[in-house]
Structure 1
Amino acid sequence: MKKIGFLSFGHWANHPSYSTKTAGDTLLQSIDLAVAAEELGIDGAYFRVHHFARQLASPFPLLAAIGAKTSKIEIGTGVIDMRYENPLYMVEDAGAADLISGGRLQLGISRGSPEQVIDGWRYFGYEPAAGETDADMGRQKGLEFFEQLKGQGFAEPSPNPMFPNPPGLLRLEPFAPGLRDRIWWGSGSDATAIWAGKTGMNLQSSTLKFDESGKPFHIQQAEQIRLFKQAWKEAGHQREPRISVSRSIFALVNDQDRYYFGQQAEATDKIGMLEMDRRAIFGRSYAAEPDQLIEQLAQDEAIQEADTILLTIPNTLGVDYNIHVLSAILEHVAPGLGWR
């Protein structure tokens, strides 16, 4: 059994073929899509966070709105770039959104990825400490956020407060019980997957990672997940971790599907370069008739290692078509793989 969610990048542009021509279109359609996906039986609604781009950026208003209009579906991110965040304010935002949803937030965070502008986090007022990189800063902020979700008091109360204080040091409010167990680290390397396992965060692994062995993407990702599981076990954490992988999967069940995605039927892994000229591998897309998809996906080792699959969706094509895409996976593919 697998949990199946969707992952939206939240693109918009004034393009004739787009259903999301404005930011308002994308935000409102994201809410409608989550509501419809819950009715369909999808387990999770996840959203990417990108700054300085015509994509979804500030996640918590959207997550809270979805939480208020749904009752069962998990609501998450994949991922929040911690280089841009104030960890303490984020604890408050996340706590409020989680309470509105009744404890359904699943927050993916990371140290960040290449962005639209040079050192965009500087415009937000953040600088790495002396001797640190921006990646170090992102991980440190992630740890601070994770620590404060324990809900322990740390701030000295005023002797003359506006309102009466409880005894002892004060914590951030509102406190969301259990949210700390629903934080995921977005990992692009074996080393950071091991770090996440030791730290006690769940693991999100997307459709790209640093190419560390030259093997096919799904095999490298499966090895990354196994290293995470080993680190988690050795750290002695008292609960079972969650692990998600992202995939672009399209079941070609009608002519419209073939028109949009038929050209991806022969897709393969791709190699590219990320920051500091590090070689990265990008996982293939899957697009085929349902019976072929079942055969192909059964060979994907990383999917076998994960408990959650996030299906990347073409959000610009509108709510109805994306529900069709998700429905085709649930109806024609998931049962054949034992996911449902």
Structure 2
Amino acid sequence: MRSVKKIGFLSFGHWSPNPHSGTRTAADFLHQSMDLAVAAEELGVDGAYFRVHHFARQAGSPFPLLSAIGARTSKIEIGTGVIDMRYENPLYMAEEAGAADLISGGRLQLGISRGSPEQVIDGWRYFGYAPAEGENAADMARRRTETFLKVIEGEGFAQPNPRPMFANPPGLLRVEPHSEGLSDRIWWGSGSNATAVWAAKLGMNLQSSTLKDDETGEPLHVQQRKQIETYREAYRAAGHARTPRVSVSRSIFALTNDLDRAYFGHDRESRDQVGMIDDTTRAIFGRSYAAEPDTLVKLLREDEAVQAADTLLLTVPNQLGVAYNTHVLESILTHVAPQLGWR
């Protein structure tokens, strides 16, 4: 089935002092990310998304970057994939998200989740957080998510001071700044069918993770397609009025010149990988796609999750620089997306 898709890029935001890296400092990453978002918007790319990891040479605090991109662009969606809610104060996050969304004119697409394995043990404890009695870290993340979703609806909940520094509006006070419509643009990064159903019940959009619990032993794209179907069924059953969005992310490289083949030609035979997370959970990680454009088109037609999703996020090798990543995106938009009916 041919269907128009939104196509964005997803940057892991790595930087490294390695002399072969084009992104050697945090400043390099931040400025190059802004430049890539501007270039992507000019190409017609629909979204600029960023991974968030703490204690790592990656984007730990996404809102300054998202706000800066929002100020330099006018059309492209800006988002995350994903913010680890184990580390977040929901009310302060609501303030930051509201400000970033207002700066961008309502283009924020905020991916959140319970997070993935981190660089340090229980890193959220260093941020001053701990699960409540009877909770684990995943429970804590979901509880904070529910608080965040409630707060960004914009209803007052805080008792005003009878002698405030500044005059208050009548009634209970809400977190400010409030951005109308942001609550419809929150995504849950789901690594299992159960959490996809939970996200659907709360009315969130779905980011199907490329690192997913291996629940059936089937190829990742099949498991993701079934997860998407389960999510959409649960969303309908919950009675939400709007149509939700679903994204999947993939590493996809059209080999159109010698440099492409030098960088990614070895990924032609890439396959799904299976391993253990934290020695407790069997997980499956998706393959990369690297081939000449006509072959890519055939391969992507067979990817059931890519076909089922309305949004495709292309992971980009950000350390190869803005010019090369612009070429990577342009190759997909020019040589692949039109043949699949996505453009």
Normalising by structure 1, report the TM-score: 0.99
Deviation of 1:277 (Å): 1.7
Name 2:105's counterpart in structure 1: 102
Name 2:303's counterpart in structure 1: 300
Supply the RMSD in Å over aligned alpha carbons.
0.5
Deviation of 1:276 (Å): 4.6
Please tell me the residue identity of whatever aligns with 1:102: G
Deviation of 1:206 (Å): 2.2
Name 2:184's counterpart in structure 1: 181
2:207 aligned with 1:198: no
SS at match of 1:167: coil
Q: Percent same amino acid among aligned pairs?
A: 71
- 1:127-146 equivalence runs, <5 A: 127-146=130-149
Deviation of 1:17 (Å): 1.4
Distance 1:277 1:179 in 2: 36
Residues 140, 156 of structure 1: alpha-carbon distance in 2 compared, 3 angstrom cutoff: same
Name 1:31's counterpart in structure 2: 34
Name 1:269's counterpart in structure 2: 272
- 1:198-277 equivalence runs, <5 A: 198-277=201-280
Distance 2:116 2:206 in 1: 16
Unaligned 5+ residue runs, structure 2? none
Please tell me the residue identity of whatever aligns with 2:172: L
Name 1:61's counterpart in structure 2: 64
Could you tell me which of 8, 13, 34 is aligned with 1:10? 13
Please tell me the residue identity of whatever aligns with 1:176: S
Alignment check: 8 A CA contact 1:251 1:257 kept: yes
Please tell me the residue identity of whatever aligns with 1:200: G
Distance 2:210 2:216 in 1: 16
Deviation of 1:161 (Å): 0.4
Name 2:74's counterpart in structure 1: 71
Alignment check: 8 A CA contact 1:206 1:247 kept: no
Distance 1:294 1:138 in 2: 38
Alignment check: 8 A CA contact 1:44 1:76 kept: yes
Distance 1:142 1:159 in 2: 31
Could you tell me which of 107, 120, 123 is aligned with 2:126? 123
* More deviation, 95-104/272-281: 272-281
Unaligned 5+ residue runs, structure 1? none
The runs of at least 4 aligned residues of structure 1 exceeding 4 Å deviation read: none
SS at match of 1:234: helix
Distance 2:211 2:92 in 1: 30
Distance 2:254 2:241 in 1: 39
Please tell me the residue identity of whatever aligns with 1:17: H
Distance 1:329 1:17 in 2: 25
Deviation of 1:15 (Å): 1.1
SS at match of 1:212: coil
Alignment check: 8 A CA contact 1:92 1:172 kept: yes
